[in-house]
């Protein structure tokens, strides 16, 4: 008898590619599974103009509806980009049943035709515009290109590139317009998944631009008490990804990291040891609170906790409070 696994996802190109990956791995792990992908259109997808916060942030916009369907038993699983999952709250009744093997966690630079990285560096960004919606990317961009103009820019990964190439202006919630952008900063993993790797002009090192917690990891969420699904998801759980997930998200937990927090956390596993870098940045990019620690790889949360407490000792709380939405 076939065992049903219905996986809910947003229907962007990137989200579908990620869900196909989960489906493929589940089918390979257990031939008795009947895996079905269920596409949701969320408030966040249909409203491309306003900033995300009015919908409850990234988590609220993209995630709430799909989660409700898992809790109601209409779906067995939900696909998430781990980096979009709020790190300052649990969802009662749900658990991350699998973290897939990590794709590159770093960010990449995409330029419009006619502009080069050399020119952007030489000019210190003067006269150019970078589009991003992430406070973290804006802060690092200003550290790398101090005179660049960072504008609010959103949309699915493939849509952003299309807007860059068409030199389209970006409409703002208040009715105004900004842009067009000369450059975009996007996750390499996302660009790979939507087929735009050939547009990457530069891969930022983690030293240049520390990735966001969970970046590059696809997470599969399921109901806590659905033991059957949990058993199958455990088969595709990647142990290294899980360690990084636990360490990086512990930093968010300690710092009460919400959807648009100006923070970064990135860990690597090396044999029996893991290293975790994390930072908290002020919105103008002037102040970077940074810390790094290593510890035993089998105690990721302890490492995350120590790093989070280090950041608090260095004054992180005041910086985070400044960007908290009302």
Binding mask 151-180 for ligand PBG (x = CB under 6 A): ------x-----------------------
Choose which of 96, 189, 222, 245 interacts with ligand PBG (CB under 6 A).
Answer: 189
Choose which of 180, 190, 300, 308 interacts with ligand PBG (CB under 6 A).
Answer: 190
- Closest separation in Å from C-beta 312 to ligand PBG: 26
- Closest separation in Å from C-beta 72 to ligand PBG: 25
76 lies in the binding site for ligand PBG (CB under 6 A): no
87 lies in the binding site for ligand PBG (CB under 6 A): no
Q: What is the spatial distance between Cα 243 and Cα 1, in angstroms, rounded to a whole number? A: 34
60 lies in the binding site for ligand PBG (CB under 6 A): no
Q: Angle between the 13-29 and 227-236 helix axes, to the nearest 10 degrees?
A: 100
Nearest CA to 224 among 120, 71, 109? Answer: 71
Q: What six digits make up the tokens of 23?
A: 């489906």
Total number of residues binding ligand PBG (CB under 6 A)? 10
Choose which of 84, 226, 248, 310 interacts with ligand PBG (CB under 6 A).
Answer: 84
Q: Which is nearer to ligand PBG, 186 or 280 (CB)?
A: 186
Q: Which is nearer to ligand PBG, 182 or 192 (CB)?
A: 192
192 lies in the binding site for ligand PBG (CB under 6 A): no
44 lies in the binding site for ligand PBG (CB under 6 A): no
Q: How far apart are the first and last CA of the chain?
A: 51
Tell me which stretch binds ligand PBG (CB under 6 A): 91-99, 145-153, 182-190, 287-295.
182-190
Number of residues that make up the chain: 326
Task: Report whether 156 contacts 14 (CB < 8 A).
Answer: yes
- Closest separation in Å from C-beta 217 to ligand PBG: 6
The dihedral sign for the CA sequence 165, 80, 45, 211: negative
83 lies in the binding site for ligand PBG (CB under 6 A): yes
Choose which of 135, 187, 223, 274 interacts with ligand PBG (CB under 6 A).
Answer: 187
Q: Which is nearer to ligand PBG, 103 or 226 (CB)?
A: 103
DSSP secondary structure, 124-180, as one string: TTTT-EEE---HHHHHHHHHHSTTPEEE---S-HHHHHHHHHTT--EE-TTS-EE--
- Closest separation in Å from C-beta 84 to ligand PBG: 5
183 lies in the binding site for ligand PBG (CB under 6 A): no
**Alpha-helix runs per DSSP H in the chain:** 13-29, 43-46, 57-71, 117-122, 135-144, 157-165, 188-193, 227-236, 239-254, 300-313, 316-323
Q: Which is nearer to ligand PBG, 20 or 302 (CB)?
A: 20
215 lies in the binding site for ligand PBG (CB under 6 A): yes
Rg (CA), the chain: 20
Omega of the bond prior to 180 within 30 degrees of 0, cis?
yes
Q: Which is nearer to ligand PBG, 97 or 190 (CB)?
A: 190
Phi-psi region of 230 (alpha: psi -120 to 50; beta: other; left: phi over 0): alpha
* Alpha-carbon separation of residue 51 from 43, 56, 120 (angstroms): 12, 10, 27
Q: Which residues bind ligand PBG (CB under 6 A)?
A: 81, 83-84, 157, 186-187, 189-190, 215-216
């Amino acid at each position: 008898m076939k065992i049903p696994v219905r996986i809910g996802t947003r229907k962007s190109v990137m989200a579908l590619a990620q869900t196909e990956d989960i489906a493929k791995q589940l089918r390979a792990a257990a031939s008795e599974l009947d895996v079905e992908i269920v596409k949701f259109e969320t408030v966040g997808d249909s409203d491309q103009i306003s900033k995300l916060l009015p919908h409850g942030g990234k988590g609220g916009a993209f995630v709430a509806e799909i989660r409700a369907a898992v809790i109601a038993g209409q779906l067995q699983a939900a696909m998430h980009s781990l980096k979009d999952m709020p790190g300052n709250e649990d969802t009662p009744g749900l658990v991350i049943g699998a973290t897939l093997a990590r794709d590159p966690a770093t960010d990449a630079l995409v330029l419009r035709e006619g502009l080069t990285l050399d020119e952007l560096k030489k000019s210190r960004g003067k006269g150019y515009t970078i589009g991003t919606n992430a406070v973290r990317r804006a802060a690092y961009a200003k550290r790398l290109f101090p005179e660049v103009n960072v504008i609010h820019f959103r949309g699915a990964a493939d849509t952003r590139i299309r807007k860059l190439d068409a030199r389209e202006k970006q409409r703002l919630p208040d009715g105004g317009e900004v842009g067009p952008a000369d450059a975009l900063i996007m996750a390499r993993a996302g660009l790979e998944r939507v087929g735009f790797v050939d547009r990457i002009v530069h891969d930022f090192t983690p030293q240049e631009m520390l990735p966001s917690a969970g970046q590059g990891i696809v997470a599969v969420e399921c109901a806590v008490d659905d033991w059957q699904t949990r058993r199958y998801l455990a088969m595709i759980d990647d142990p290294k990804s899980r360690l990084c997930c636990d360490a990086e998200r512990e930093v968010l937990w300690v710092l009460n990291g919400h959807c648009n927090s100006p923070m970064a956390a990135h860990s690597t596993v090396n044999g029996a040891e893991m290293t975790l870098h994390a930072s908290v940045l002020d919105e103008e990019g002037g102040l970077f609170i940074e810390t790094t620690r290593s510890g035993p790889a089998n105690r990721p949360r302890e490492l995350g906790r120590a790093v989070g407490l280090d950041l608090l000792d260095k004054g992180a709380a005041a910086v985070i409070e400044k960007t908290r939405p009302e």
